[in-house]
Amino acid sequence: MKSVRFGLALIVAAVISAPASAGLFNPHVFTLENGLQVVVLEDHRAPVVTQMIWYKVGAADEPPGKSGIAHFLEHLMFKGTASAPGKIFSETVAASGGRENAFTGHDFTGYFQTLASHNLEQVMKLEADRMTNLTLSASDIVSERDVVLEERRSRTDNNPSALLSEQTSAAQFLTTPYRIPVVGWAHEIEQLNREDALEFYRQYYAPNNAILVVAGDVKAPDVKKLAQKYYGVIPKGEVSSRDWPKEPPQLSPRRVELRDQRVSQPSWRRTYLAPGSLDDKSHLSEPLDLLSQILGGGTTSRLYQEVVVEQKIATSAGSWFSGDSVGPARFGFYAQPVPGGDVQSLEKSIDAEIARIINDGVTDAELKRAKAGMLAQAIYARDSVTRKARIFGRALAIGLSVESVETWPERVKAVTPEQVQEAAKEVLDLRRSVTGLLLPEQKG
């Protein structure tokens, strides 16, 4: 254990002492004539590559009454094209020993393959093909719609905690489309059809609305040639700009209580509206990240030590900040009382800890530990071709720059205790909060 800790200390010390000009990933970046932005992250330690294509469209871009169409289309993208029908894409990846998957968020949709680097051209050809040549049959629509509905039933409807998250999100955002679940509302999913999917596809799936990230054992000039060969021939699309309604001032705290017969142990959560990556107050992002670590980032955090270790009124407690978003972000807390414990008493103790950090701030030692942990995570991200591709793809998909990713360690290192306290005062305002309670169903 001592050697592991010593090694971690050396890694963190190296990051902290690195010159300001040193980048986090040192990417090669270029843009094709049709608008496709390409990022190459060379890593020659293993003969593996990840290709990731990110589309700057997600659940928040869906037309009214069509919730779930972004996620539904993600499923349908695996149905094939005229030149690669059915499961040829997936079978090709599997035959080469690779793996593939896809994901949908509110702000983006992504597809990726990880496989031996000498197979990159093969999957790039296939991925470029389905960017523009997707074919869908009536049977594809029916079968995959049933799959999505079953996914919603198993992951949300059969999970009381997920249902509470859905309800608190709906209460959190007054106008921002983040209030609608990514998977969609069941009654709207049931009505999605082939034309809905193709219209969404034609509107948003275009090279000038996408980012290609290639990470692994490749050379940037080679990737550029392949990208021009396969993606470069695809014409630009007429992509609609994002014009979401602005969130109005939130003047009153909200509480959501969900009782369910499947719940045996109560739990508590709260989220506060916070500035997102493109907000005028986005400079609070790094202080908020560090605040979440100090308040609730693990067993040594303030919250865990106070309510779990000292008071022994909770079995778990923590906090988080999710700031990478086009629209408003959220800062969240969660806790679960001990069996037979009182949720209200637990909430009061958490509120007291929040008030303490707002009034008294954080110590230099706390901030130093939080920085060390976050910077170490950045170092570890370099060891995974998929993880660093995700970091870059997500950042660019929401509108951040390559420079903002590369200079992130410097911004973290520059945060002061006063800035963390300022962020706490700015964001942890009950008027912009939603508190959720998950409780057993009352008997009688």
75-133 pLDDT, tens digit per residue, is 999 999 999 999 999 999 999 999 999 999 999 999 999 999 999 999 999 999 999 99
| pLDDT computed for residue 32 by the predictor | 98
The CA angle 355-356-358, to the nearest 5 degrees, is 65
Mean pLDDT in residue range 270-298? 95
Mean pLDDT, range 393-408, rounded to an integer: 94
- Which pLDDT band holds residue 444 (cuts at 50, 70, 90)? low
Residue 423: Cβ-neighbour burial (10 angstroms; 0-12, 13-18, 19+): buried
How would DSSP label each residue in 148-168? HHHHHIIIIIT-HHHHHHHHH
Is the per-residue pLDDT at 201 higher than 50? yes
74 given a catalytic annotation: yes
Nearest to 104 by CA among 42, 61, 143, 49: 61
pLDDT at residue 199, rounded to an integer: 97
Share of the chain above pLDDT 90, in %: 90
> Which of 22-26, 336-340, 345-349, 425-429 shows the lowest mean pLDDT across its residues?
22-26
The H or E element spanning position 317 is strand 314-322
What is the pLDDT at residue 7? 38
Measured from the Cβ of residue 26, the count of other Cβ atoms closer than 10 Å reads 10
CA distance 212 to 38: 5
- For residue 291, is pLDDT > 90? yes
Whole-structure pTM value: 0.92
Please give the single-letter amino acid code of residue 205.
Y
Q: Which of 74, 100, 247, 286 is catalytic?
A: 74
- Of 362, 346, 383, give the one whose Cα is nearest residue 293: 362
Residues of the chain above pLDDT 70, percent: 95
d(CA 62, CA 405) in angstroms, rounded, equals 28
Condensed to tens digits (0 to 9), the pLDDT of residues 408-422 reads 999 999 999 999 999
Residues 291, 295: Cα–Cα separation, whole Å: 6
- Dihedral of alpha carbons 76, 82, 87, 93, sign: negative
Domains parsed from the chain with CATH numbers: 24-230 (3.30.830.10), 254-440 (3.30.830.10)
Residue range 150-156: mean pLDDT, rounded: 97
Residue 137 binned pLDDT confidence (cut-offs 50, 70, 90):
very high
With H, G, I as helix, E, B as strand and everything else as coil, classify residue 254: strand
Cβ–Cβ under 8 Å, residues 320 and 332: yes
CA–CA–CA angle 323, 328, 433 (5° rounding): 95
Q: How many residues does the chain have?
A: 444
Q: How far is 74 from 107, CA to CA, in rounded Å?
A: 14
Residue with tokens 């034609």: 202
Q: In 231-342, which residue ranges form alpha helices assigned H by DSSP? A: 285-296, 302-303
